[in-house]
C-alpha cells in the first residue's frame, strides 16, 4: 500500500510537471513548420521512432498470439484479420471506403474498420517503408490541440480514399504525453459507436484511477511505443508487454490480511469492478435502418456500469471456437484466478460447409441492408469461392479491467451469502464447501466490530 | 373535528410544498431523439456551457439543447463533435430550457 502511495504521488508530480513543462522544439517547429514524423525525428529528438512504430500493434493491428487456442503460431492476428461477432468485419474485408449510395436518399458516406488506423490510409495497416513512416499521424495521439475536423476521410485527385490529418503548427507545438481523449478518440468508438464495444468511460465519476487524475498511459505506459495490455480473452494482439494491477498495488494491497488472502485466487477486478457495460448483443444478419436511410447492425446497448459481470476461472489462456471465445481455467489450476467478464452474444453468418464464422464487408448492408451481399463481398476479398451461409450465435467473454471502484467494491457480504455475487457451484465448489463459503460465520465477528466502529 | 381539520390543512400544505399540486415543479420527463447537429454555439475555450441545435431525424423539427457536461463540452472545443454529426440525445425541460442529459455520436468504427 505504501509502495502504491509513493508511486501514485510520483505519478501525480510527474504528470503535473509533464503538463507544465513545454515540449522542446517549439521554436524549431514555429520556424520550420510541421512535416509529420520527419519533424519529430529532426536533430537528435526522436531518431528512428517512426520506423520502430511500424512494428507495433497500433500500426500493424496484429501480432503473434500465443495464449489463444486454434490459431496458427506462425501467423499474426488482430483487427487486421480477426473474424468474430462484435466486429464481424475487419481491416481486410471492411477496408475504409465510400459505401454505395443509399437507395432512399442517394447519399453515401465513408466507413471502414481501419478508420482508426494512425496512418493516412494510403499507407495503411501493416505497411512498411519510408512512405509509411512519413504517413504516421504522431499528433493524433500526442497533441492536446489536435483539430479533429481534419481527421476525416476524403477522395484525392486520383480517386483514392485518404484519411486527413492535422499537421498544423498549433497542433505540433502542443505535443506531449497522450491524454485520455487522445486514446478515447479511437478506443471509445470501437464496435459501432460510443461505449459499444468495451462499455467503459474513463471519467472521475466512473473510474477510481481517473478520479485520482490519472490518464490511460499512467498504467498503459509505453516503451518504444509498445503499449502494455492485460489478458482480455477477446483482445488477442499485444506488443508483448503486459500490465497488471499488482505492478503498482503489489500482492498485498489491503490493510486486512483476510482480504489479502483472496488475492491468490481472486483477481483484483472481481471485487473492484462490480459492474460492466456496453453492447449486450448484436445481430449482423438483420441490420436496422436509421432515419438517415443508412443501416446499422441491430444492437442492444447498455451504459457503462449498467450490467453485471459473470465470474469465471481464468488462467490467461483462451478457448477459441467458432461459437465461443472465452477464458480457460479451473479451480484446480494454481495459475487460475476468478475474474469478472462481460458476456456478449453476437449473431452472424456461419459457413454450413466448414462450421466457421464468415466475415462481412459493411459497405453493402450499410447502403441497403443486404447482409448476404456483405458476406459475398468479404468472401471475394478473401478468395473464398464456395460457402453456404447460415445464421448462428457466438458468445464472447470480454475482460473487465476498467470502471474501477474503491468505495463500491464488493465486500464480504456481497459474495459470502446464499444469494451472493459469485455462483460458487459453477466455479467448481462442492455443496458442503458452498455452505461454509456462504455463511456469515466466516466474517461475523470482524464485521460486527467494524459496524460498531462505524457508528 | 377541529384537530382533524388542522391536520388535513397541514397535510395539504405539505403536499403542495412537495410539488404534488404544482405541475410546474414536477420532475422533468426525459425526452429522447436521434438527430443531426445543425449548429453549435460555444463561447470560447473556457466556456462552461454551450448550446447545440439538432434536426430530429423523425420529425424534422429543430431542437436546441443546453450542454453542460465537461466531456461533451471538451468534444465541442476540439471538434470531436461537429456540425453534421448524428447524435443520440436525451434531454429534459427545466425552467423552459432543454437541458442535455446524454449527448453521444451514433457513429463508430
From chain B residues 47-76, the ones with a CB under 8 A of any chain A CB are 57-58, 71, 74
CB atoms inside a 10 Å sphere around CB A428: 11
Distance from the Cα of B35 to chain A's closest Cα (Å) equals 9
Q: Do the Cβ atoms of A292 and B79 come within 8 Å?
A: no
Taking CA atoms, what residue in B is nearest to A151?
A: B80
| Banded model confidence at residue B5, pLDDT cuts 50, 70, 90 | low
- In chain A, domain spans: 2-42+49-410, 412-455
Q: Do the Cβ atoms of B104 and A193 come within 8 Å?
A: yes
Ramachandran sector of residue A61 (left: φ over 0; alpha: ψ -120 to 50; beta: rest): left
CB atoms inside a 10 Å sphere around CB B28: 14
Does the pLDDT at position A300 exceed 90?
yes
User: Hey, is A58 helix, strand or coil?
Assistant: helix
Does the pLDDT at position A407 exceed 90?
yes
Q: Among B95, B97, B41, B96, which Cα is nearest to B65's?
A: B97
Ramachandran sector of residue A436 (left: φ over 0; alpha: ψ -120 to 50; beta: rest): alpha
What is the rounded distance in angstroms from the CA atom of residue A121 to the CA atom of residue A105?
A: 27
Taking CA atoms, what residue in B is nearest to A180?
A: B71
Asked if residue A135 lies in contact with residue A114, where contact means CB atoms within 8 angstroms, the answer is no
- Radius of gyration for the alpha carbons in chain A, expressed in angstroms and rounded: 24
Q: Among A187, A369, A362, A205, which Cα is nearest to A278's?
A: A187
Q: Which residue has the higher pLDDT, B6 or A369?
A: A369
Instruction: Taking residues A210-232, report their average pLDDT.
Output: 97
pLDDT number for residue B20? 41
Region of poorest pLDDT, from A11-15, A391-395, B43-47, B71-75? A11-15
Percent of chain A past pLDDT 90, that is, above it, reads 90
In tens, the pLDDT along B26-58 reads: 456 899 999 999 999 998 778 899 999 999 988
Which residues of chain B are within 8 Å of residue A111 when distances are taken between CB atoms?
109
In tens, the pLDDT along A410-450 reads: 999 999 999 999 999 999 999 999 999 999 999 999 999 98
| Helix, strand, coil distribution of chain A in percent, nearest 5 | 30, 20, 50
Region of poorest pLDDT, from A89-103, A142-156, A370-384, B22-36? B22-36
In tens, the pLDDT along A310-354 reads: 999 999 999 999 999 999 999 999 999 999 999 999 999 999 999
The total number of residues written for chain A in this structure: 455
pLDDT number for residue B11? 47
Does the pLDDT at position B23 exceed 50?
no
Cell numbers for A387: 460457402
Helices (H), B1-109: 2-17, 70-77
What is the rounded distance in angstroms from the CA atom of residue A319 to the CA atom of residue A344?
A: 15
What is the rounded distance in angstroms from the CA atom of residue A220 to the CA atom of residue A344?
A: 25
Query: Chain B interface, mutation test: which of A193, A294, A363, most B Cβ atoms within 10 Å?
Result: A193
Quote the strand ranges of chain B, DSSP E.
30-42, 50-56, 62-67, 86-94, 97-105
Q: Do the Cβ atoms of A191 and B71 come within 8 Å?
A: no
Which of A114, A196, A291 is the closest to B108 by Cβ? A196
Region of poorest pLDDT, from A74-88, A152-166, A190-204? A190-204
Q: Do the Cβ atoms of A193 and B34 come within 8 Å?
A: no
Average pLDDT across chain A, whole number: 94
For A348, the enclosing helix (H) or strand (E) is strand A337-351
Fold of the B28-105 domain:
OB fold (Dihydrolipoamide Acetyltransferase, E2P) (2.40.50)
Asked if residue A304 lies in contact with residue A315, where contact means CB atoms within 8 angstroms, the answer is no
Asked if residue A311 lies in contact with residue A423, where contact means CB atoms within 8 angstroms, the answer is yes
Asked if residue A363 lies in contact with residue A94, where contact means CB atoms within 8 angstroms, the answer is yes
pLDDT number for residue A217? 98
Cell numbers for A246: 499488482
| Banded model confidence at residue B21, pLDDT cuts 50, 70, 90 | very low
In tens, the pLDDT along A97-111 reads: 999 998 888 989 999
What is the rounded distance in angstroms from the CA atom of residue A170 to the CA atom of residue B79?
A: 15
Does the pLDDT at position B9 exceed 70?
no
Does the pLDDT at position A247 exceed 60?
yes
Q: Do the Cβ atoms of B104 and A189 come within 8 Å?
A: no
CB atoms inside a 10 Å sphere around CB A279: 25
Does the pLDDT at position B25 exceed 90?
no
Does the pLDDT at position A355 exceed 90?
yes
pLDDT number for residue B4? 52
Instruction: Taking residues A217-243, report their average pLDDT.
Output: 97
Percent of chain B past pLDDT 70, that is, above it, reads 73
| Banded model confidence at residue A17, pLDDT cuts 50, 70, 90 | very low
What is the rounded distance in angstroms from the CA atom of residue B100 to the CA atom of residue B67?
A: 5
Asked if residue A287 lies in contact with residue A293, where contact means CB atoms within 8 angstroms, the answer is no
- In chain B, domain spans: 28-105
Q: How many CA atoms lie within 13 A of A253 on its CB side?
A: 20
Which of B57, B74, B82 is the closest to A149 by Cβ? B82
| Banded model confidence at residue A2, pLDDT cuts 50, 70, 90 | very low
Does the pLDDT at position B107 exceed 90?
no
In tens, the pLDDT along A26-84 reads: 999 999 999 999 999 998 899 999 999 999 999 999 999 999 999 999 999 999 999 99
Does the pLDDT at position A402 exceed 50?
yes
Cell numbers for A299: 444492437
| Banded model confidence at residue B3, pLDDT cuts 50, 70, 90 | low
> Cα–Cα–Cα angle for B73, B76, B81, nearest 5°?
125
In tens, the pLDDT along A167-187 reads: 999 999 999 999 999 999 999
ipTM of the complex: 0.81
Q: Among A407, A447, A423, which Cα is nearest to A273's?
A: A407
Which letter does DSSP use for residue A377 in this model?
A: H
User: What phi and psi values does residue A242 have, to the nearest 5 degrees?
Assistant: -125, 155
Instruction: Taking residues A225-236, report their average pLDDT.
Output: 97
What is the rounded distance in angstroms from the CA atom of residue B57 to the CA atom of residue B32?
A: 11
Q: Do the Cβ atoms of B79 and A185 come within 8 Å?
A: no
First to last CA, chain A: 26
Q: Do the Cβ atoms of B80 and A181 come within 8 Å?
A: yes
What is the rounded distance in angstroms from the CA atom of residue A227 to the CA atom of residue A60?
A: 13
Q: Among A142, A134, A123, A122, which Cα is nearest to A60's?
A: A123
| Banded model confidence at residue A22, pLDDT cuts 50, 70, 90 | confident
Taking CA atoms, what residue in A is nearest to B70?
A: A203
Taking CA atoms, what residue in B is nearest to A90?
A: B109
Taking CA atoms, what residue in B is nearest to A91?
A: B109
Amino acid at each position: 500500500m505504501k509502495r502504491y502511495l509513493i508511486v501514485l504521488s510520483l505519478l501525480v508530480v510527474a504528470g503535473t510537471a509533464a503538463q507544465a513543462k513545454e515540449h522542446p522544439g517549439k521554436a524549431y517547429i514555429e520556424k520550420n513548420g510541421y512535416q509529420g514524423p520527419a519533424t519529430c525525428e529532426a536533430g537528435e529528438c526522436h531518431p528512428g521512432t517512426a520506423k520502430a512504430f511500424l512494428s507495433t500493434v497500433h500500426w500493424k493491428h496484429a501480432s503473434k498470439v500465443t495464449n489463444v487456442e486454434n490459431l496458427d503460431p506462425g501467423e499474426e492476428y488482430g483487427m487486421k484479420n480477426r473474424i468474430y461477432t462484435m466486429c464481424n468485419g475487419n481491416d481486410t474485408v471492411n477496408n475504409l471506403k465510400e459505401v454505395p449510395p443509399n437507395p432512399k436518399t442517394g447519399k453515401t458516406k465513408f466507413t471502414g474498420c481501419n478508420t482508426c488506423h494512425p496512418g493516412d490510409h494510403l499507407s495503411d495497416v501493416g505497411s512498411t517503408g519510408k512512405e509509411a513512416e512519413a504517413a504516421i499521424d504522431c499528433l493524433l495521439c500526442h497533441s492536446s490541440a489536435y483539430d479533429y475536423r481534419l481527421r476525416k476521410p476524403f477522395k484525392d485527385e486520383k480517386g483514392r480514399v485518404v484519411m486527413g490529418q492535422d499537421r498544423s503548427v498549433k497542433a505540433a507545438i502542443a505535443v506531449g504525453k497522450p491524454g485520455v481523449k487522445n486514446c478515447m478518440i479511437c478506443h471509445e468508438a470501437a464496435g459501432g459507436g460510443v461505449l459499444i464495444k468495451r462499455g467503459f468511460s474513463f471519467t472521475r465519476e466512473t473510474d477510481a484511477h481517473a478520479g485520482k487524475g490519472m490518464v490511460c498511459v499512467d498504467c498503459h505506459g509505453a516503451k518504444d511505443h509498445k503499449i502494455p495490455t492485460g489478458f482480455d480473452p477477446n483482445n488477442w494482439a499485444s506488443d508483448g508487454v503486459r500490465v497488471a494491477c499488482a505492478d503498482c498495488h503489489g500482492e498485498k494491497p489491503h490493510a486486512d490480511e483476510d482480504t489479502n488472502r483472496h488475492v491468490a485466487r481472486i483477481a483484483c477486478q472481481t471485487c473492484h469492478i462490480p459492474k460492466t457495460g456496453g453492447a449486450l448483443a448484436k445481430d449482423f444478419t438483420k441490420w436496422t435502418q436509421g432515419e438517415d436511410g443508412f443501416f446499422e447492425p441491430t444492437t442492444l446497448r447498455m451504459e457503462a456500469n449498467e450490467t453485471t459481470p459473470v465470474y469465471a476461472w481464468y488462467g490467461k489462456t483462451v478457448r477459441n471456437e467458432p461459437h465461443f471465445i472465452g477464458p480457460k481455467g479451473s479451480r484446480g489450476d494454481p495459475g487460475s484466478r476468478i475474474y469478472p467478464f462481460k458476456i456478449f452474444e453476437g449473431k452472424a453468418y456461419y459457413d454450413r460447409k466448414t462450421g466457421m464464422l464468415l466475415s462481412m464487408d459493411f459497405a453493402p448492408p450499410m447502403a441497403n441492408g443486404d447482409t448476404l451481399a456483405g458476406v459475398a463481398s468479404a468472401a471475394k476479398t478473401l478468395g473464398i469461392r464456395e460457402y453456404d451461409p447460415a445464421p448462428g450465435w457466438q458468445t464472447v467473454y470480454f475482460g473487465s479491467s476498467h470502471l474501477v471502484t474503491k468505495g463500491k467494491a464488493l465486500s464480504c457480504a456481497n459474495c459470502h451469502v446464499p444469494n451472493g455475487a459469485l455462483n460458487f457451484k459453477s466455479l467448481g465448489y462442492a455443496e458442503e464447501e458452498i455452505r461454509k463459503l456462504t455463511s456469515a460465520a466466516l466474517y461475523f465477528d470482524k464485521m460486527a466490530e467494524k459496524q460498531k466502529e462505524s457508528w | 373535528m377541529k384537530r382533524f381539520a388542522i391536520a388535513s390543512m397541514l397535510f395539504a400544505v405539505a403536499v403542495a410544498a412537495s410539488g404534488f399540486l404544482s405541475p410546474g415543479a414536477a420532475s422533468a420527463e426525459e425526452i429522447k431523439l436521434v438527430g443531426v447537429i445543425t449548429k453549435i454555439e460555444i463561447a470560447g475555450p473556457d466556456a462552461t456551457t454551450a448550446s447545440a441545435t439538432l434536426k430530429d431525424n423523425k420529425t424534422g423539427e429543430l431542437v436546441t439543447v443546453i450542454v453542460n457536461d465537461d466531456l461533451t463540452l471538451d468534444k465541442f472545443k476540439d471538434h470531436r463533435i461537429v456540425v453534421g454529426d448524428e447524435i443520440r440525445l436525451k434531454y429534459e425541460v427545466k425552467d423552459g430550457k432543454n437541458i442535455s442529459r446524454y449527448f453521444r455520436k451514433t457513429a463508430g468504427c
